[in-house]
A and B are shown apart, each in its own frame.
Chain A
Amino acid sequence: MTRLVVVSAGLSQPSSTRLLGDRLAEATRKALEATGADPTVVEVVTVELRDLAHDVVNNVLTGFPSPALAQVIEQIGSADALIAVTPIFNASYSGLFKSFFDVIDPELLRGKPVLIGATGGSERHSLALEHAIRPLFSYLHAFVVPTSVYAASADWGAAGAGAAVSERIDRAGSELAGLITRTGTTGPVDPYADVPDFVTLLDPRSA
């Protein structure tokens, strides 16, 4: 089974950011199908950060996640890939989106395939994906696929422009599917997996 987690920081209901996340997940599923993976075993878990907003702030303040937030973090850690989508606010990711990725363990996304997407009122903000969101995931040592997808309001309307974004969504989904197939499953890093023996701690040269 391949498990995708979609994290959406969209705020309105319905949310175009969520819509973009759904489209990206669907494109990835189709691309995985095309590679011969059994379509019935692609599971998509979608997380709306709005539902966890208080838990995220509480985690920022107390240093530990609520049970609901811990469950989402665990799902991301054990997922085969992450699709992260945010509205662009003031030339960058939304504060809620950043706060969520601030409270996860910095090792959680190491080596994990990630597809990034963003939404905004006009296409003028599209490079925020490259200037703000891609560096965030590079810092977290994730593998971010080359194609990021930006959807402006207009993209959801006009047929010509919409076709362009659909093409981009399909390309990004293919890239993510390819990365999942190549990298395989990456579990979360276990802090107890390689605690050095104390003799090594006493004298690192003895290792």
Chain B
Amino acid sequence: MQFGIFTVGDVTADPTTGRTPTEHERIMAMVTIAQKAEEVGLDVFATGEHHNPPFVPSSPTTMLGFIAARTSTLLLSTSTTLITTNDPVKIAEDYAMLQHLAEGRVDLMMGRGNTGPVYPWFGQDIRQGIPLAVENYGLLHRLWREDVVDWEGQFRTPLQGFTSTPRPLDDVPPFVWHGSIRSPEIAEQAAYYGDGFFANHIFWPKEHYIRLINFYRERFAHYGHGTPEQAIVGLGGQVFINKNSQDAVKQFRPYFDNAPVYGHGPSLEDFTEQTPLTVGSPQEVIDKTLTFREHFGDYQRQLFLMDHAGLPLKTVLEQLDLLGEEVIPVLRRELDALRPASVPAAPTHASLLAAKLAAEATATESTATEVAGVGGQR
């Protein structure tokens, strides 16, 4: 089971002081938060990608490359990479380069983005969101698996004899998750490729996501990647922790009440009842997070949103200490104990490389024709 944090990278005024950090402060805070995540024993740091204020992370591989140099075990990911408006060729190149620099500690989460004008700013049409996600990812998938690609599609210049460089580390493409909050088509896409499916369910009630995740699991099995229970599922989460439950509520309420996404709407109490948000003691966070498994089945990755709504860096770092010391060890133990042996862990570079080497070893013992089929990209 992987635990980690994901950041939106918003520059938001602290409602308790009125102070807004500069872009530089926010960017460096994100780096500090990522390093802290590794220090407290988390597995994953994922950054969003945005192309408009008040968000800073427009260039995820630059940031993740910098973090890669300052960490040694942390898996670097995205939440999400815009598969609709980025050129899939550039994604292939950028993330393969990052993968080399980070010694394989990289995966990605594809998303369509939630800011309408980004499509026209990058020369695309938002009404083509799903077809763009399908075509662009289809090309990206080939660029990482075929040395020389001839390709023609609807949305980008054709490619003849194109080789994306550098080739993925050890010829093992980074693992890919597909993130969606409402589109069965994206769950279908993740299932087709046998990729992971990440449901960022933090803003909506669980019923909606139970259907979406079950759909992904069934289609994952339909495409022959394993049983529904073996599908690779990631979930969001949002917590604010204090050893004393009432203090957590008191401390977080001004940030909740003014938060960009749900501020000035439902009460903190209603929202925590209706969504995965937990504000309380470490035990309350543990109990609530354990319900995710009951609702969605055994899953592989749990990411928490910790640094948003203007929370100052100092508070975020304290939160990460509590998360790493008091919450994650218990969740790790409980969830690992509950998970049947037949349910795999989330793929990593090491596990994918081992699987590839094992497949190649099996193929070498077989006939030459079969070798061409299995190790065809060489």
Contact = CB atoms under 8 A, between A and B. Distances in A.
A94 B113 CA distance: 33
A188 B185 CA distance: 19
Contact of A58 (B130, B191, B265): B265
A195 to B, nearest CB: 4
A62 interface: yes
A191 B184 contact: yes
Interface string B83-121: 000000000000000000000000000000000000000
Contacts of B203: 62-64
A58 B188 CA distance: 31
Nearest to B137: A202
Contacts of A63: 203-204
B375 interface: no
B66 interface: no
Interface string B40-66: 000000000000000000000000000
Nearest to A57: B265
A174 to B, nearest CB: 39
Interface in B125-172: 130-131, 134, 138
Interface in A174-207: 191-192, 195-198, 201-202, 204
A160 interface: no
Contact of B211 (A62, A70, A192): A192
Interface string B183-214: 01100110110000000000111001001000
Contacts of B264: 61
Q: Which of B189, B205, B265: most chain A CB closer than 10 A? A: B265
A66 interface: yes
B68 to A, nearest CB: 33
Contacts of B138: 202
Contacts, number: 56
A140 B223 CA distance: 36
A67 interface: yes
B261 interface: yes
B327 to A, nearest CB: 25
A167 to B, nearest CB: 45
A153 to B, nearest CB: 36
Q: Which of B130, B203, B211, B270: most chain A CB closer than 10 A? A: B270
A198 B189 contact: yes
Contact of B274 (A64, A192, A202): A64
Contacts of A64: 203-205, 208, 274-275
Contact of B192 (A66, A70, A198): A198
Nearest to A61: B265
Interface residues of B, number: 29
Contacts of B134: 201-202
B265 A201 contact: no
Contact of A66 (B191, B208, B266): B266
B122 interface: no
B184 A201 contact: no
A67 B184 contact: no
Interface string B206-240: 00100100010001000100000000000000000
A195 B215 CA distance: 10
Nearest to B223: A198
A22 to B, nearest CB: 31
A77 to B, nearest CB: 14
Contact of A196 (B185, B215, B266, B274): B185
Contacts of A195: 184-185, 188, 215
Contacts of A70: 205
A63 B262 CA distance: 9
A201 B271 CA distance: 36
Nearest to A59: B265
A57 B134 CA distance: 35
A201 B204 contact: no
Contact of A201 (B185, B208, B263, B275): B185
A191 B264 CA distance: 30
Interface string A60-92: 011110110010000000000000000000000
Contacts of A204: 131
Nearest to B204: A64
A193 to B, nearest CB: 10
B196 to A, nearest CB: 16
A61 B270 contact: no
Contacts of A196: 185, 188
Interface string B257-273: 00001111110001100
Contacts of B275: 64
Contacts of B192: 198
Interface string B328-345: 000000000000000000
Contacts of B208: 64
A58 B208 CA distance: 18
Given A66-B274, A70-B205, A198-B192, 6 more contacts: A61-B262, A61-B266, A192-B184, A195-B184, A195-B185, A196-B185
8 contacts: A61-B266, A64-B204, A64-B274, A195-B215, A197-B188, A198-B219, A201-B130, A201-B134
Interface of A: 57-58, 61-64, 66-67, 70, 191-192, 195-198, 201-202, 204
5 tightest CB-CB pairs across the interface, nearest first? A61-B265, A198-B192, A195-B184, A58-B266, A64-B204
